[in-house]
Structure formats: structure tokens, C-alpha cells
């Protein structure tokens, strides 16, 4: 049951779009900074398989420039 | 609502991201944070000032089921704007060390034995009565701290000065900022900085005077770096005796020989005058000149007395005095190249640059601490760079309430909450508010901190109550004072949270409530008062220090002066205390206002905070055009003629190195709290001695080898650090004092500034040997 958190950097001018994209994904909670071009993403998936699938989905988001991991937890 | 393990992990994950974001983007704010917390389950966030350094960062403490479970920076607090340092982020863990004192302990046959707290309080009161009866009122004393909450210090002062009638009230802030106080009083007639942290956003140049802000005030240092990042012309000059993380981040690092900051400050003024950079109009209207005694001694002997004699001087005399301080002459004393002195003078002298000077222990822990404070004010006054945004001579404090509790409440021997004991009007005001006969308040100060411990050693003091501090690690020349405290016929009460070396000298230990386990107030370096509510219960019988004092006061018969009830005593004490400051120069915010806001700066007049004192544009107490230094009868600030004089002890053939001591980022003072936080302890598990590579090479010492550091007073064996986080120049070693297993204060000297009585922990002579 992995839990991760990231700083999510949008492509230029796409903070709102990235927030909507991340919020639409299962197992994701996103939070926008009010005054900076960055978001926080917390993912909470039930197993490794789902986690890998989510990682793939994240890589397809056009509004996302990069992710920087800030926390990681698995039950193993 | 209950919180599941999973929800807790998610909250921690989000918190880590917020912390990382705050480091990368100072001032970042996340409005949705609260919603996430709620969805993650049952954490209530409450505001509190950080209880470590004097910066006064606003924190939000996450509480769940009577336990503090998380902490983050408060984005609504203007001090830190959501940012914290590594100690702040781990601050709640200090509440939960395994060896917290939960029960009172009384020494019986040499052993500390658990005792019901009411019985222990009975014993404290009984011993105080007995000591006063047998040895007089001046045989009892209290020694507190800049970590005292404001009501603690207020209750202590009222009990000892107002009721018992002794001025034996001191606090460890004497060891960290007394020179700042006497500097302010002699130059301006009023204590505490005229500016505020907003100066950081406005200044073009920062000069750190012996002040490793990167480690000691990291959040303020981050604000400086943020300012420099957005404005490319901003410069940071680190003027210090060793290379530190601050030097590494600075645009220029200038190293001076210990004690010679006095000469360099005078040389800067010499250059300002020589180059005609003086703000003549400002000096003419707002400054007068003074001189005092010279060759004033070092206080190393018992019963040392000194009173300065203030004499009027003039600009002509001042200019003549400065002829001895040309950059070329001072280069020979200080080791600072004349061109660097001229460079600093040019920065201060440039009318288009706003300059803020920061300092803390480097200038205050100094046998001429008052003088060097005066001399830096001289520089700012000559060029008129003061009391306006970005132009600020700024003395930082080391403890969360050194200003709020020690300087404002006046928990020093000579002080009252308003004014000094020697002043009849101040005594009358205190007697009226405290409801005691005015004759109770002794007009004569008794012992400053070093002399108080000497009096304990001599037997002039027989009873000492120590709260929120650890003098058996922090007193200089420690061996003498430990032996003195352990002598027969001494009775020591200690209010503490964890076992420390001071526990070893205690006859009674009272378990204290810590930080958010009780309601209280701190006052930070920029005149900001900050309130915290009680958020979680203290463990076992642990009790708020204020309430401990109230319990004992009532046992001594002072029910009338200490009438408060448990449910409202902090608010009642606040309402009584602020009567002392009910004037436009120091009016403080109401309890209700403080409860609602992340701190309020005084003077707080008609709902407005005062950011820059002495400037009528910002300060309601200041009158007229320009500036009004209303702390002095003539409404003028003072430029002081103060010479360079050498340190009390300096290297010689037998002890050829300077010893400098101080703090590091990860540990708070003596480490009694931060060393119980696993991650902080792991990152800095033990103290060490920083040695210059040349000195290490000459001695055959390599990094990590064991070294004996010895002075005329004692020695300590520790690990060598070469090219570590700090780099002392050749001829100096540096040792942090956070580690009770390596008591460097057995080596230091108890010399002090004769005016402020603050000891100099930065300069004594030692030798190194391979161990």
C-alpha cells in the first residue's frame, strides 16, 4: 500500500490545468500553492501493480513538467 | 475523530511536501492544506510561537487525541511566512522523550525519590522560609531563563522582588543579551531594536557582525537570501572571527582577530568622516556625543564593582579620538586588510544604499559587549541609517522570550517590569500594581548571574530555585560553580522537563509542563508578543512553572498577591502585567488580540503595531519631523567614544590558541531537548573541536582523532573536526557547547563586560594535545 508525496511542477502557465488533471486521477490528492507555480501531489495506491499503473498515467499528463518526490512509504 | 495509521502516513507525506516547498520557495502558501487535513482525519491545527531561538517563527501544531502529532510553519505569521528550520519542524518531538520528568523528586540520603508534587511544593516553601529566617531575605534566589514564558517571569519577579523583598532574580538571558540591553540603554535610553524583520526585505546591504545567522537564525537568513535572489545588487558581508556557513553564503567574508571588532568599528567611522559621508543634518539634529571610563576591568574577581561615568563630548573630540583608528593602524591590530575596512565604510557611507547590521552572541558575549554595541550604533548614527525601512542596527536574541520575559518583564536583578529598582517612581508603580508596601522593593540591585553563583559558592546565597535552564552546562568556569552548588547548606530547587547535569545538584526537582502543554506568551527579537494556548495535557504531575510559583507563593502567605484560579490565571496575569506598559512607548496588545493573531508588535497603539520606533512616520510616541529618540531626555541618540581594549585572556606560550564556543543549527543550547529528538541527535551526536588545518598538521592531528583542549581552569577530550562545517583561522579553535558529555564550559573563563555583566564565551586561551 504505497504512499508517496511529490512537488509537481506544471509546464508554464498550466498550474490550474495540472491541478484538474491530477485531481481527476484515482488515488491522487492535489493541492495548489496559492502564490507559487507548484503543486503538491499525494498518492495512495492499494498495491504495487496499481502504483505502477498510476506512474504510467502521470507520465502521460501534458500539463506536468516534472515531479520531485518528497516522501515515500510502502508496507514492505 | 479518530485518526487511522494510513491517514497519519498520508498527512506526513503531505507535510513533507509542504516542508520541501517551503525550503525551495520561501513564503509559499497552501490554502487547501486545511481541507486535506480534514479529509486525512482528525488533526486540529493551532498556532504557537516556536519555542527555540529568538526569531519567533509562527508554527501550526497539529493535535489529535490530546497528542501533538504534526507541525508546520504558519503562513499567516509575518516572521517566517510558513517557513521553519530543522529544529522547528521537529519541535513537537521534544514533548515525548522517554525520560520526561512526570513526578516530583526529592533528594533523600543522596538519592532522588519520587514524591507527591504537593508534598514537594510544601518542602520548597518550608526551605525558603527557613533560609530567610536563618540567613535573611537575600539568601534566597531564583534563576530563570529567556525560555520562561512571560507569566513565569512575571510571577517570579512579583514573588521575589515584590513580596519577599529580594532582588535576587536573574535569568540566563544575562549570558546571551545583557550587552545588547546596556548598548540600547546607553545609546538610546530604551531597550530593544528600533526596526523589525521587514528591514530584511528593504535592505541593500547586510553586515553580520560575528553572527552565524545561517545556523543560529536560519529562517531570517533565508529571508536575506530570498531578498538577494530577487534583487541582484543586494550584498551580504560576513564579518566574523571564523569561517562559517554564513561566510560561505555571503558575498564577502572578512575575518578579524578576536576582540578587535572594537577597533574596526572605530576605523569604519574614521573612514566615514574622512570621506565626508557623514549625514551632517541627522547628526546635528539627532545625535549628541558621550564618553565614559576606560581600562574598566574584566570582573574575574569576586565582588567586582563597576559604574561607568558618562561625560559629555563633542564631534571635534570624537574626530580627534578616531585618529588612532585609521584603517592602516587597525589592520595591524585586527588582521583585517585596510582595503576591507574601507570597503565596509563605503557600504555604510553610500547614501543610496540601505544597510542593516545583524549581531547576536558574537558582540554580546564580549568583555566590552556594551562598547561594541555602542560602536555599531555609532556607524549607523553617523550616516543616519536607522529607524527607516532597510536601515537598521539589529540586535538579534538567542532565546524565544529573552526580550518578552527577561527584558520586558525585567527578570534581572536591577529591573522591574517598568523601570529599575533604583528608581522611586518605578518602585511605587510596581508596589501599587502588585499590592505590596513600597518598602518591600529593595532599591539596591543584588547579584548579576555570575556573581549570584559566586554568592552561592561563598554561602551568601543558600537557596536557589532554577527554572527552564541548565546552568551546570552553561556557566563559564563551570567547575567552581558546580562545587559551590554542591556545598553543604545549599538547597537547590529545579523546575525541569528532562534530567540534565543541573539535576545532579538539585535537592528538589519539580516536573514542568513544556511549551504547548501550558498557555503562555513569548516575546521575540522584533518586539513581537506571541500567545499560545494549552493544546495537550502535560505528562503525569508536570505543572506549569507559573503555577508552581503561585503554589509556593501562597504557602509563603501571599494569597492576596496571587489570587488567581487555574482556569484563567494566564489571562489575569497578562491583564495585570500590561498595566506596567500602558503608555504610547510600550503599550501592549490585549489578551484577546494576542489570542487571535500570530503575534503583535509593541508599541501597539490604537490598534496599530509599530514597525520602526523613533520615526514619527511609524511610531505614535515619536514627535516632530525626522526622528525623535525619546528614550533620552534631550531626545537625541548618543555617539559614544569607546576605545579598543584587549580581551581578558589571550594566547601565550603556555596556552597558544584562542577558544571560541557557540551553537550549531541542529541543537538548541545545551541539547537537553534536541538531543532527545532522534533525527537531530543522529545528525550531530556529539560535540567536537574545530581546528585549523595548519594547527592540526603541526600537532599531527587528523580529522576524527581525539584531542585534549585545556585551559587554566579545566580540560575536555573530544574529537577533532578539520575542514568541517566551520573553519577557524590559524591560532583558534571552536567548540559547540550543546553536549553535556563534553563540558567545554569547564574550560571557559568567567570574565564579563563590566557594564552589562555578560560573560565572554568567545575568548580565552587554550592548548591542544593529542589524547
B584-631 pLDDT, tens digit each? 999 999 999 999 999 999 999 999 999 999 999 999 999 998 999 999
Are B39 and B90 part of one and the same domain?
Answer: yes
Instruction: Judge whether B641 and B317 are in contact, CB under 8 Å.
Output: yes
Q: Which helix (H) or strand (E) holds B534?
A: none
| Residue B30 to residue A34, Cβ atoms within 8 A | yes
Is residue B158, in this structure, part of any structural domain at all? yes
* B32 has a pLDDT exceeding 70: no
Number of residues written out for chain B = 771
CATH of span A3-73: 3.30.70.920
A30: phi then psi, degrees, rounded to nearest 5: -120, 150
The CATH number assigned to the domain holding B733 equals 2.40.40.20
Q: Cα separation of B198 and B755, whole Å?
A: 31
- Prior bond to B603 cis, omega within 30? yes
- Predicted pLDDT at B26: 77
CB atoms within 10 A of CB B18: 25
Task: Count Cα atoms within 13 angstroms, Cβ side, for B104.
Answer: 21
| Residue B13 to residue A5, Cβ atoms within 8 A | yes
Question: Which residues lie across from B62 on neighbouring strands?
Answer: B45, B70
Q: Cα separation of A6 and A59, whole Å?
A: 14
Angle at CA B642, nearest 5°, toward B641 and B643?
A: 120
Are B81 and B141 part of one and the same domain?
Answer: no
Q: Cα separation of B262 and B97, whole Å?
A: 44
Q: Cα separation of B104 and B553, whole Å?
A: 18
Torsion angle in degrees (nearest 10) through CA of B202, B207, B211, B214: 50
Q: Is B291 a catalytic residue?
A: no
Are B36 and B162 part of one and the same domain?
Answer: no
* CB proximity list for B655: less than 8 A, separation 6 or greater: B710, B711, B712, B765, B766, B767
What's chain B's Rg over C-alpha atoms? 25
Q: Which helix (H) or strand (E) holds B205?
A: strand B205-209
Task: Count Cα atoms within 13 angstroms, Cβ side, for B286.
Answer: 29
Q: Which residue on chain B is closest to A44 by alpha carbon? A: B10
Per-residue pLDDT, averaged over B286-312, amounts to 97
| Residue B17 to residue A44, Cβ atoms within 8 A | no
CB atoms within 10 A of CB B340: 20
B103 CB-contact burial (10 Å; exposed 0-12 / middle 13-18 / buried 19+): middle
Instruction: Judge whether B600 and B523 are in contact, CB under 8 Å.
Output: no
DSSP 8-state class, residue B537: P
B201-244 pLDDT, tens digit each? 999 999 999 999 999 999 999 999 999 999 999 999 999 999 99
Distances (CA, A) of B42 to A32, B70, B92, B668, B735: 22, 12, 17, 31, 44
Is residue B411, in this structure, part of any structural domain at all? yes
| Residue A41 to residue B21, Cβ atoms within 8 A | no
Are B683 and B733 part of one and the same domain?
Answer: yes
Of B96, B128, B158, the residue that ends a domain is B96
Per-residue pLDDT, averaged over A59-67, amounts to 94
Residue B56 lies in domain: 5-96
* B367 has a pLDDT exceeding 80: yes
Contact list, A70 vs chain B (CB under 8 Å): 13, 16-17, 19-20
The CATH number assigned to the domain holding B419 equals 3.40.50.740
Are B34 and B154 part of one and the same domain?
Answer: no
Is residue B598, in this structure, part of any structural domain at all? no
Mean pLDDT for all residues in chain B: 96
Residues of chain B in Cβ contact (below 8 Å) with chain A: 6, 9-10, 12-14, 16-21, 24-25, 27-33, 36, 39
- Predicted pLDDT at B303: 94
- Predicted pLDDT at B33: 61
What is the domain partition of chain A in residue ranges?
Answer: 3-73
| Residue B27 to residue A29, Cβ atoms within 8 A | no
Is residue B68, in this structure, part of any structural domain at all? yes
Is residue B601, in this structure, part of any structural domain at all? no
Q: Which one, of B247, B487, B211, B252, lies nearest residue B361 by Cα?
A: B211
Are B406 and B436 part of one and the same domain?
Answer: yes
Q: Cα separation of B279 and B124, whole Å?
A: 58
Are B122 and B72 part of one and the same domain?
Answer: no
Contact list, A39 vs chain B (CB under 8 Å): none
Q: Is B87 a catalytic residue?
A: yes
**pLDDT band at B34, cuts 50/70/90?**
low
Is residue B716, in this structure, part of any structural domain at all? yes
Torsion angle in degrees (nearest 10) through CA of B158, B163, B167, B173: -20
Q: Which one, of B172, B94, B100, B52, lies nearest residue B673 by Cα?
A: B94
B442-471 pLDDT, tens digit each? 999 999 999 999 999 999 999 999 999 999
B494-537 pLDDT, tens digit each? 999 999 999 999 999 999 999 999 999 999 999 999 999 999 99
Per-residue pLDDT, averaged over B80-91, amounts to 94
Q: Cα separation of B236 and A42, whole Å?
A: 38
Are B408 and B551 part of one and the same domain?
Answer: yes
The CATH number assigned to the domain holding B89 equals 3.30.200.210
Give the torsion sign (CA, B706, B711, B715, B721). Answer: negative
Of B47, B63, B96, the residue that ends a domain is B96
pTM for this model (two decimals): 0.88
Q: Cα separation of B28 and A31, whole Å?
A: 12
Q: How many domains does chain B have?
A: 3
| Residue B21 to residue A44, Cβ atoms within 8 A | no
Are B441 and B481 part of one and the same domain?
Answer: yes
Distances (CA, A) of B1 to A59, B65, B66, B115, B157: 37, 8, 12, 36, 43
Q: Is A53 on the interface with B (CB under 8 A)?
A: no
Of the candidates A34, A38, A42, the beta carbon closest to that of B13 is on: A42
DSSP 8-state class, residue B442: -
| Residue A3 to residue B16, Cβ atoms within 8 A | no
Instruction: Judge whether B763 and B368 are in contact, CB under 8 Å.
Output: no
* CB proximity list for B214: less than 8 A, separation 6 or greater: B221, B244, B245, B246, B248, B249, B665
Are B712 and B740 part of one and the same domain?
Answer: yes
Is residue B241, in this structure, part of any structural domain at all? no
What's chain A's Rg over C-alpha atoms? 12
Using CB atoms and an 8 Å cut-off, which of residues 10-49 of chain A contact chain B? 29, 31-36, 38, 40-42, 44
CB atoms within 10 A of CB B579: 13
Q: Is B363 a catalytic residue?
A: no
| Residue B9 to residue A73, Cβ atoms within 8 A | yes
Catalytic residue among B84, B177, B213, B673: B177
Are B90 and B124 part of one and the same domain?
Answer: no
* B39 has a pLDDT exceeding 60: no
B91-147 pLDDT, tens digit each? 999 999 999 999 999 999 999 999 999 999 999 999 999 999 999 999 999 999 999
Q: Mind giving me the DSSP string for B568-637?
A: THHHHHHHHHGGGG-STTT----HHHHHHSS-EESS-BTTB--SSTT-TTT-TT--SSS---TTSTTS-E
Q: Is B361 a catalytic residue?
A: yes
Question: Which cell numbers in the block locate residue B236?
Answer: 551580504
Of the candidates B12, B13, B21, the beta carbon closest to that of A33 is on: B21
- Predicted pLDDT at B37: 52
Q: Is B718 a catalytic residue?
A: no
A vs B: CB pairs below 8 A: 71
| Residue A44 to residue B6, Cβ atoms within 8 A | yes
Q: Which one, of B401, B396, B336, B403, lies nearest residue B211 by Cα?
A: B396
Instruction: Judge whether B388 and B203 are in contact, CB under 8 Å.
Output: no
Q: Cα separation of B109 and B113, whole Å?
A: 9
Q: Which residue has the cell 571564523?
A: B242
Distance from CA of A35 to the nearest CA of B (A): 6
Distance from CA of A14 to the nearest CA of B (A): 17
Are B44 and B146 part of one and the same domain?
Answer: no
Amino acid at each position: 500500500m504505497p504512499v508517496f508525496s511529490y512537488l509537481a511542477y506544471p509546464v508554464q502557465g498550466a498550474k490550474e490545468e495540472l491541478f484538474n488533471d491530477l485531481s481527476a486521477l484515482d488515488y491522487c490528492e492535489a493541492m495548489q500553492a496559492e502564490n507559487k507555480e507548484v503543486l503538491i501531489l499525494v498518492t495512495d495506491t492499494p498495491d504495487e501493480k496499481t502504483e505502477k499503473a498510476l506512474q504510467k498515467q502521470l507520465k502521460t499528463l501534458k500539463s506536468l513538467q516534472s515531479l520531485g518526490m518528497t516522501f515515500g512509504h510502502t508496507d514492505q | 475523530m479518530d485518526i487511522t495509521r494510513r491517514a497519519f502516513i498520508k498527512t506526513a507525506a503531505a507535510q513533507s511536501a509542504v516542508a520541501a516547498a517551503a525550503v525551495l520557495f520561501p513564503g509559499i502558501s497552501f490554502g487547501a492544506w486545511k481541507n486535506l487535513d480534514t479529509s486525512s482525519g482528525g488533526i486540529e491545527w493551532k498556532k504557537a510561537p516556536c519555542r527555540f531561538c529568538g526569531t519567533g517563527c509562527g508554527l501550526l501544531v497539529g493535535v489529535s487525541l490530546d497528542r501533538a502529532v504534526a507541525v508546520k510553519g504558519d503562513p499567516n505569521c509575518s516572521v517566517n511566512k510558513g517557513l521553519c528550520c530543522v529544529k522547528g519542524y521537529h519541535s513537537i518531538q521534544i514533548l515525548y522523550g522517554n525520560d520526561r520528568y512526570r513526578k516530583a523528586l526529592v533528594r533523600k540520603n543522596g538519592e532522588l525519590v519520587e514524591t507527591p508534587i504537593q508534598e514537594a511544593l510544601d518542602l520548597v516553601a518550608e526551605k525558603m522560609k527557613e533560609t530567610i529566617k536563618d540567613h535573611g531575605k537575600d539568601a534566597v534566589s531564583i534563576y530563570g531563563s529567556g525560555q520562561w514564558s512571560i507569566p513565569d517571569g512575571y510571577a517570579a519577579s512579583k514573588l521575589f522582588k515584590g513580596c519577599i523583598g529580594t532582588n535576587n532574580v536573574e535569568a540566563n538571558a544575562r549570558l546571551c543579551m545583557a550587552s545588547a540591553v546596556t548598548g540600547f540603554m546607553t545609546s538610546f535610553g530604551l531597550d530593544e531594536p528600533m526596526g523589525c524583520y521587514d528591514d530584511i526585505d528593504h535592505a541593500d546591504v547586510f553586515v553580520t557582525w560575528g553572527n552565524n545567522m545561517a545556523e543560529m537564525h536560519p529562517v531570517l537568513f533565508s529571508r536575506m537570501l530570498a531578498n538577494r535572489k530577487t534583487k541582484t545588487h543586494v550584498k551580504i558581508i560576513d564579518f566574523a572571527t571564523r569561517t562559517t556557513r554564513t561566510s560561505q553564503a555571503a558575498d564577502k567574508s572578512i575575518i578579524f582577530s578576536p576582540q578587535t571588532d572594537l577597533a574596526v568599528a572605530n576605523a569604519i567611522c574614521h573612514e566615514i568622516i574622512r570621506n565626508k559621508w557623514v549625514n551632517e543634518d541627522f547628526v546635528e539634529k539627532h545625535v549628541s556625543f558621550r564618553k565614559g571610563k576606560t581600562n574598566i576591568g574584566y570582573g574575574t574577581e569576586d565582588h567586582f564593582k563597576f559604574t561607568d561615568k558618562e561625560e559629555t563630548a563633542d564631534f571635534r573630540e570624537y574626530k580627534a579620538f578616531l585618529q588612532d583608528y585609521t584603517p592602516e593602524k587597525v589592520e595591524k591590530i585586527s588582521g583585517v586588510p585596510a582595503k576591507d575596512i574601507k570597503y565596509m565604510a563605503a557600504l555604510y557611507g553610500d547614501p543610496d544604499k540601505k544597510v542593516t547590521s545583524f549581531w547576536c552572541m558574537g558582540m554580546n558575549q564580549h568583555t566590552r559587549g556594551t562598547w561594541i554595541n555602542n560602536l555599531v550604533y555609532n556607524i549607523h548614527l553617523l550616516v543616519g541609517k536607522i529607524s527607516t525601512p532597510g536601515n537598521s542596527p539589529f540586535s538579534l536574541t538567542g532565546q524565544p522570550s529573552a526580550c518578552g520575559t527577561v527584558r520586558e518583564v525585567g527578570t534581572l536583578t536591577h529591573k522591574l517590569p517598568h523601570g529599575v529598582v533604583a528608581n522611586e517612581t518605578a518602585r511605587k508603580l510596581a508596589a501599587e500594581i502588585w499590592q505590596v508596601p513600597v518598602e518591600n522593593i529593595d532599591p539596591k540591585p543584588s547579584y548579576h548571574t555570575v556573581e549570584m553563583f559566586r554568592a552561592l559558592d561563598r554561602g551568601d546565597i543558600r537557596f536557589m530555585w532554577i527554572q527552564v535552564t541548565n546552568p551546570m552546562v552553561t556557566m563559564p568556569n563551570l567547575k567552581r560553580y558546580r562545587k559551590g552548588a554542591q556545598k553543604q547548606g545549599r538547597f537547590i530547587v529545579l523546575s525541569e522537563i528532562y534530567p540534565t547535569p543541573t539535576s545532579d545538584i538539585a535537592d528538589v526537582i519539580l516536573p514542568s509542563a513544556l511549551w504547548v502543554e501550558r498557555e503562555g506568551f513569548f516575546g521575540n527579537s522584533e518586539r513581537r508578543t506571541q500567545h499560545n494556548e494549552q493544546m495537550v495535557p502535560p505528562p503525569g504531575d508536570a505543572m506549569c512553572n507559573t503555577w508552581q510559583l503561585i503554589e509556593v507563593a501562597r504557602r509563603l502567605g501571599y494569597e492576596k498577591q496571587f489570587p488567581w484560579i487555574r482556569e484563567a490565571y494566564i489571562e489575569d496575569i497578562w491583564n495585570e502585567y500590561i498595566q506596567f506598559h500602558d503608555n504610547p512607548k510600550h503599550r501592549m496588545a490585549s489578551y484577546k488580540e494576542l489570542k487571535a493573531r500570530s503575534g503583535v508588535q509593541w508599541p501597539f497603539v490604537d490598534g496599530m503595531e509599530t514597525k520602526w520606533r523613533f520615526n514619527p512616520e511609524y511610531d505614535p510616541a515619536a514627535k516632530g519631523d525626522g526622528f525623535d529618540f525619546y528614550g533620552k531626555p534631550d531626545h537625541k541618540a548618543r555617539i559614544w567614544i569607546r576605545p579598543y581594549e584587549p580581551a581578558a585572556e589571550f594566547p601565550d606560550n603556555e596556552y597558544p590558541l584562542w577558544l571560541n564556543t557557540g551553537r550549531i543549527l541542529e541543537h538548541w543550547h545545551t541539547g537537553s531537548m534536541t538531543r532527545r529528538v532522534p533525527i537531530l541527535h543522529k545528525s550531530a551526536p556529539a560535540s567536537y573541536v574545530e581546528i585549523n588545518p595548519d594547527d592540526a598538521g603541526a600537532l599531527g592531528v587528523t580529522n576524527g582523532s581525539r584531542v585534549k583542549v585545556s585551559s587554566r581552569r579545566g580540560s575536555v577530550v573530544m574529537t577533532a573536526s578539520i575542514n568541517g562545517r566551520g573553519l577557524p583561522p590559524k591560532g583558534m579553535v571552536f567548540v559547540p557547547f550543546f553536549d553535556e558529555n563534553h563540558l567545554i564550559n569547564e574550560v571557559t573563563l568567567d570574565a564579563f563586560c563590566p557594564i552589562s555583566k555578560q560573560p565572554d564565551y568567545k575568548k580565552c586561551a587554550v592548548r591542544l594535545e593529542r589524547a
